Amino acid sequence: MRLVYMGTPQFAVGPLRALAAAGHELAGVVTRTDKPAGRGRSVAAPPVKLAAMELGFPVFQPKRVREAEFIETLRGLAPEAVIVAAYGQILPKEILDLPKFGCLNIHASLLPLYRGAAPINWAIIRGEHETGITIMRMDEGMDTGAVLMQERVPIDPKDTAGTLTEKLSVLGAKLITRALPLVEAGKLTEAPQDGSKATMAPLLKKENGLIDWTLPAAGIHDRVRGFSPWPGAYTFLEGKMVKIITTEVIAAQGEPGLLYVKDKSFLDVGAGSGLLRLVSIQLEGKRPMTAAEFLRGHRVEGKNFQDPISH
């Protein structure tokens, strides 16, 4: 099938490679514009752009897909279907109506659950035990189109947003290559979503990572996992940022935000209920370290993690 592929982050690379390997004709790959990234803020290309260039496909980076000039470009590519995976913009009706077999989205949740920009993160943050991939026919809403194919996967207790993204990228690649021949043959039943069961997964912001120590320890633990690798979970100690990298939940009680040192090897923090054990952390401007390494150079028993505006 002649396709145009639209995607941006690492999640979208696996399905792109799978479509190419399956022998589909990629008339073009559409991705977001290059943006500053990393500490040096040097301009970096999206992962999908790098993969498309490696595979030899034409790359298009419109600022807005609803611009008339880009829609004409897309019309000239004459795709039979447009495949979308975490592209980052809502497609206008002119694009949705353009291909013969429509626009299909690879969405990283079990729709109608977790519609929106960050479904993988929010599934972990909210303590879900499973998620999956949905192949859906796109309409003008936010992930509201009919479901064509869906498959579940368990969320491992140690999964972070990063590790779960890798798993779902592989599953998305498998499902889209399985779905396309069935779409072409008209053999997939389209199941409308039940909007009454919908939940949202809004775009993450840096400030989402700030830890509220009055939450239950289990909830904080899930937020640490769900915010890894970005925006990262963080707090403040004596005015300096501390990134919380890995944690465990301990069946004990403590005062929210108060630090407890056990055997000079374990660093626990009180929460709304339970204790959160800090397995590894990163001080501002330093490398990641274990709690034991941190305790060898810092006396913190009885000190508090704080919001930066509270001291």
User: 111-145, pLDDT tens digit by residue?
Assistant: 999 999 999 999 999 999 999 999 999 999 999 99
Buried b (16+ CB within 10 A) or exposed e, 146-180: bbbbbeebebeeebbbebbbebbbebbbebbbebb
pLDDT tier for residue 225 given thresholds of 50, 70 and 90: very high
* Topology agreement, domain 2-197 and domain 206-310: no
- Burial of 257 by CB count in 10 Å (0-12 exposed, 13-18 middle, 19+ buried)? buried
Give pLDDT, residue 311. 43
pTM greater than 0.75 (yes/no): yes
Q: Say if residues 36 and 43 touch (Cβ distance below 8 Å).
A: yes
Quick: pLDDT tens for 37-47. 777 778 999 99
Give the list of residues 6+ apart from residue 222 with CB closer than 8 angstroms, or none.
Answer: 124, 125, 126, 127
Q: Say if residues 90 and 145 touch (Cβ distance below 8 Å).
A: no
What's the CA gap between 10 and 191, in Å, rounded?
Answer: 28
Q: What percent of the chain has pLDDT over 90?
A: 94
The CATH number assigned to the domain with range 206-310 reads 3.10.25.10
Backbone angles phi, psi at 44, to 5 degrees: -125, 145
Q: What percent of the chain has pLDDT over 70?
A: 98
Backbone angles phi, psi at 38, to 5 degrees: 75, 180
**3-class DSSP assignment, residue 307:** coil
Partner residues linked to 59 by β-bridges:
29
**How many other C-beta atoms can be found within 10 angstroms of the C-beta atom of residue 307?**
13
Domain boundaries, given as residue ranges, for the chain: 2-197, 206-310
Place of tokens 């990163």: 282
Omega cis (within 30) before 112 = yes
Say yes or no: domain 2-197 is CATH 2.30.30.40. Answer: no
